[in-house]
Amino acid sequence: MKKHLCFLLALLSLVFSLSCRKDQAHEQYTELPPSIRPDLSVTLTTSVSGFVTDEHDKPVYGAQVKAGDKDATTDAFGYFTIRNAVVAETAGAVRISKPGYFQHVKTFIPQAGKESFVRAKLLPKVNTGSIDAASGGTVSAASSARVALPANGVVLAAGGTPYTGTVQVAIQWIDPADVAQQLSAAGDGRGLDTEGWLVYTRSFGTLAVELTGSSGQLLQVAAGKKATISIPVPVSMTGAAPATVALWSLDETSGLWKQESTAAKNGTVYTGEVSHFSFWTGAIGLPLVNMTAQIVDAALHPLANVAVGVRYAGQSFNAGGGTFGFTDANGIVTGAVPANTNLALAVLTPCALESYAHPFTTGNSNTDLGTIQGNLGQSLVTISGNVVDCSNRPVTDGYVQTFENGLFTRTPIVNGAFSFTGIACTNMATSLVAVDNTLHQQGAPQLISLTTGVNNLGTITACGTSTVGVINYTIDGVLKMLIEPANPLHAYFSPLAGGWTTVLELIPSPGTPAISFQFDGDAVTGNTHKVADIFCTGFPSGRALAPVPLTVTITDYGSPGGFISGNFSGPVLDFPTNSPHIISCDFRVRRYQ
């Protein structure tokens, strides 16, 4: 067991007080940290912000993000912020949902009255294979991950009614030896063992699995039945992988892993039985102490949102088990690490290269590494400048958004100026855009090549492109204007049946949107689109049909997070009274998906 402990690398977004019970597996240690059975009903008020990207490192617009009793929606840059959320004191959990992706849960350190920072990469939910529910069967992924369902062993997740049709199985494997995949890792590495003790889960591989029916219904394993899963072990970790590990499922409410069963190693996979589907990891639970450090530059300024990794001393991250987290606004990282172990804390560039590594050794009590400056000169950059609005006045409420090698950074504009110091990939093109929140304008994105030291960009204009959506429509000469943010507007494209685009005002249920319509055709500009059915409160019955479909002229069709713009006009008939009306509409609405 000691050998296994030496390979543990900690996620840096863990809580302040983590530990493990003293059981037979841990009696090799002469001293252990205090044990904790967390009371998840104890809460505090905190804030959290971060970025959500897809599997291609592109920003995810319109993802629903929940933390405690508050929620938010990611913007065009995949950014969200949640203020004053009430979360469990032991662990704050951010739950992220987006159609077409597995629900993602990222656990963070809750600090009363302060703001934590997270990054998350969503896993696409793509059908891996199909199984007949009546006969059961097996689906295998290219990674060698497998899911086997028993005969007559599937039910509707809502209500538990037996399901007898085709089961669509979506599988994603998260490789713990691949640093690039760790943003997709659920939770934060902490779990509750079978006796309720808080432990660190030393993972040898994780699966995300979801079952859906032929009509998209969410399915689950029937009560009293068991499914079998096989989790691949990366080649670099097979030597350290024990013959048997525990299987842990992710509690999507608490954000903690829950020990449920066991899996045996068969060659390069762990195979075991599970009673339901979610995220599953094959891992061993280990005793912990806490580590805290602050990352600063040469002038002792804190480096915010910088990637920081912890690895076993003498091994690279690609040797298996390496993972990373991000500093908060004060440059501080805090997390759980193994007791009595030689480790190294590495400051990473967005290119996942080590800029500096700080060796340290844990004992049986918490470790404070203090302020870490290190030799950051070759990758430390400062981006600064001034931002003016469309009238050449200093922007007082806005931000500068940068993007480099898959990582976004947001820097506030203070009294017309901005300055950000961080770790960067030098001599690499970095995208930058300035946004004015007051006038809802942004400038054109520009590419800059960063060099070591200060990069003064001079004066940047946050003007030229509106950041808000608008729908203007006229029915029988009566004009109605819907403008964000007072009227939240969305557009989304569905590729099914030739492609349909829906434009609407979002109204929380119950409620009726002021307007909602669909037009057909591919996601392209031009005059090839038609609209025939319009729901609008401006019609007597709330709905009208065009006897001859109206041509929709699309002038802009952006990718998700961008805008769809267009217009249409013509005669329609109220449904079902057939009273005639004339409608004209022009719209510029941000695309949801």
pLDDT over threshold 80, residue 6: no
d(CA 134, CA 33): 50
Nearest one of 153, 171, 172, 315 to 239, comparing CA atoms: 315
The model's pLDDT over 9-21, given as tens digits with 9 standing for 90+, comes to 333 333 322 233 3
Per DSSP, 126 falls in state: -
d(CA 102, CA 119): 16
The model's pLDDT over 88-146, given as tens digits with 9 standing for 90+, comes to 998 999 999 999 999 999 998 888 998 999 999 999 999 999 999 999 999 999 999 99
Backbone phi, then psi, for 338, in 5-degree steps? -70, 145
Which band of pLDDT confidence, cut at 50, 70 and 90, is reported for residue 370?
Answer: very high
Give yes or no for a contact between 60 and 79, defined as CB atoms under 8 angstroms apart.
Answer: no
The model's pLDDT over 196-229, given as tens digits with 9 standing for 90+, comes to 988 888 899 999 999 999 999 999 999 999 999 9
The whole-number pLDDT of residue 485 equals 83
Helix (H, G, I), strand (E, B) or coil at 498: helix
Which band of pLDDT confidence, cut at 50, 70 and 90, is reported for residue 7?
Answer: very low
Higher pLDDT, 305 or 150: 150
The whole-number pLDDT of residue 377 equals 63
The whole-number pLDDT of residue 13 equals 34
Which band of pLDDT confidence, cut at 50, 70 and 90, is reported for residue 378?
Answer: low
pLDDT over threshold 70, residue 316: yes
State mean pLDDT over 389-398.
Answer: 96
Higher pLDDT, 71 or 304: 71
Joined together, the tokens standing for residue 208 give 């995300």
Give yes or no for a contact between 13 and 188, defined as CB atoms under 8 angstroms apart.
Answer: yes
- In percent, the amount of the chain with pLDDT more than 70 equals 90
The model's pLDDT over 507-566, given as tens digits with 9 standing for 90+, comes to 765 678 899 999 998 888 888 899 999 999 999 999 999 999 999 999 999 888 889 999
The whole-number pLDDT of residue 574 equals 95
The whole-number pLDDT of residue 521 equals 81
Backbone phi, then psi, for 241, in 5-degree steps? -70, 125
The whole-number pLDDT of residue 459 equals 96
Which band of pLDDT confidence, cut at 50, 70 and 90, is reported for residue 427?
Answer: low
The whole-number pLDDT of residue 320 equals 59
State mean pLDDT over 425-444.
Answer: 85
pLDDT over threshold 70, residue 568: yes
Distance of CA 172 to the CA centre of its chain: 15
Beta bridge partners of 97: 64
Which band of pLDDT confidence, cut at 50, 70 and 90, is reported for residue 8?
Answer: very low
The whole-number pLDDT of residue 458 equals 95
Per DSSP, 435 falls in state: E
Which band of pLDDT confidence, cut at 50, 70 and 90, is reported for residue 292?
Answer: confident
The whole-number pLDDT of residue 319 equals 63
Distance of CA 33 to the CA centre of its chain: 32
